[in-house]
């Protein structure tokens, strides 16, 4: 075990281990430490504690001293100069016409070095810019190109979840994120929905990847042929969070989807196994093919009822009684009388009775005949209609 303290040089930076060198440093105190760049001013995020020897890279850099009032004033002056250098560099970028975006500026604690961070889609020839900045600030100038994720970490902001960016809040380093993680979690593969403000895949896809991988090991695949408590069927949908699947049953005439948990089903195989089951079932040799015979279940009939017979508007008198509507049975004679449409003598048949095919009634006398209805047009002759 090695005794160390954790130091962060800015609110967005990584944590580094340093050797306390016999000093007792409390959390939140400012310290001056020795680095490969020289003396640096930072904040202690974790006081004296011990870590495993494998988690540190030896030899450790020592802590020079706990920051004094003079060190704090010097650090504050450097922060003021950072704002001045940022504005000046941005104007020069526009003046030289360089295709680059200035993101941040860091001023060295000793005042002999200034670091400029920028983003660009390609390589930039900034030699003239470096000469101009060096003559202006009389210090060593370093321009460093960073990616869009580092830019989001430096600038900060709010994500689609409404909280601060994970990278600017607590992530010390970026972990690789792939589209396979989104597939495993059943998320939409639309880039606009699984990408962050920086345009890359969201870092939070990495958080639950291990849990989803454990669930996927227990879950069957889509189109798998499974055995359920009510019969055999095919998996059509999987809900990993709820731990259930939807199965389309193959037994009986029930074609509805039913939900089962992962523990209630038994995977028999893929599409090939399903084809074997259908062939064995058609030939009646399920037991020989290695399938258990499931007792018949109450299924929903999918056959439609036959439509009722279509009757004419005026059924004939010779139709059977069961085709006539009404609660009481009627005789052909009474039905014939009820269908009379004239006030003359009753219709008769050739045989003299009321049965058989009805005969068209004889026309009335001329005195009894009514004149046809005549409708006249306005401004024209009348016409029978």
In a domain, 201, yes or no: yes
Instruction: Tell whether 201 and 260 lie within a shared domain.
Output: no
- Distance, in Å, from the CA atom of 341 to the CA atom of 349, rounded to the nearest integer, reads 17
Mark whether 78 and 137 lie in a shared domain: yes
Q: What is the CATH number of the domain that holds 101?
A: 3.30.300
Cα separation, 175 vs 155, in Å, equals 19
Is there a domain that residue 196 lies in? yes
Whether residues 185 and 124 share a domain: the answer is: no
| Co-location of 125 and 78 in the same domain | yes
Residue 180: inside a domain: yes
Q: How does pLDDT run across 144-170, given as a tens digit for each residue?
A: 999 889 888 888 888 888 888 888 888
Domain of residue 6, residue span: 2-67
- Domain final residue, candidates 164, 191, 214: 214
83 contacts: CB under 8 Å, gap ≥ 6:
none
- Whether 245 is in a domain gets the answer yes
Task: Dump pLDDT digits (tens) for 191-226.
Answer: 888 888 888 999 889 888 888 888 888 888 888 888
Nearest to 5 by CA among 14, 13, 16: 16
Confidence (pTM): 0.59
The tally of domains found in the chain comes to 4
Q: Among 135, 92, 111, which Cα is nearest to 37's?
A: 111
Average pLDDT, the chain: 76
More confident call, 363 vs 257 = 257
Summarised one tens digit per residue, pLDDT across range 94-122 is 999 999 999 989 888 888 889 999 999 88
CA angle 228, 260, 179 (to 5 degrees): 115
Across the range 362-375, mean pLDDT stands at: 58
Residue 306 belongs to some domain of the structure: no
């Amino acid at each position: 075990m090695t005794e160390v303290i954790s130091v962060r040089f800015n609110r967005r930076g990584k944590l580094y281990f340093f050797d306390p060198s016999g000093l007792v440093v409390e959390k939140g105190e400012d310290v001056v430490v020795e680095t490969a760049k020289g003396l640096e001013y930072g904040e202690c995020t974790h006081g004296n504690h011990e870590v495993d020897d494998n988690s540190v890279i030896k030899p450790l850099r020592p802590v020079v001293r706990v920051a004094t009032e003079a060190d704090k004033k010097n650090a504050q002056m450097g922060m003021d100069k950072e704002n001045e250098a940022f504005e000046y560099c941005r104007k020069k970028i526009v003046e030289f016409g360089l295709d680059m975006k200035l993101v941040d500026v860091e001023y060295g604690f000793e005042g002999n070095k200034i670091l400029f961070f920028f983003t660009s889609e390609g390589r930039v020839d900034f030699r003239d810019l470096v000469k101009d900045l060096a003559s202006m600030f009389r210090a060593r100038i370093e321009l460093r190109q960073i990616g869009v994720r580092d830019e989001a970490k430096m600038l900060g902001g709010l994500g689609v979840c409404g909280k601060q960016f994970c990278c600017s809040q607590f992530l010390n380093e970026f972990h690789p994120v792939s589209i396979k993680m989104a597939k495993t979690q059943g998320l939409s593969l639309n880039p606009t929905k699984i990408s962050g403000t920086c345009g890359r895949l969201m870092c939070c896809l990495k958080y639950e990847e291990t849990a989803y991988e454990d669930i996927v090991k227990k879950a069957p695949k889509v189109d798998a042929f499974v055995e359920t408590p009510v019969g055999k069927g095919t998996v059509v949908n999987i809900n990993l969070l709820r731990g259930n699947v939807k199965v389309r049953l193959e037994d009986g005439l029930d074609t509805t989807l039913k939900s089962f948990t992962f523990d209630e089903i038994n995977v028999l195989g893929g599409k090939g196994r399903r084809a074997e089951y259908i062939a064995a079932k058609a030939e009646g040799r399920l037991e020989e093919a290695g399938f258990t015979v499931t007792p018949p279940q109450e299924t929903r009939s999918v056959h439609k009822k036959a439509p009722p017979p279509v009757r004419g508007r005026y059924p004939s008198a010779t139709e059977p009684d069961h085709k006539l509507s009404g609660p009481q049975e009627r005789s052909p004679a009474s039905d014939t009388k009820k269908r009379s449409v004239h006030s003359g003598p009753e219709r008769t048949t050739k045989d003299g009775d009321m049965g058989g095919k009805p005969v068209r009634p004889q026309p009335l006398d001329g005195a009894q005949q009514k004149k046809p209805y005549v409708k006249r047009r306005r401004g024209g002759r009348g016409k029978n209609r």
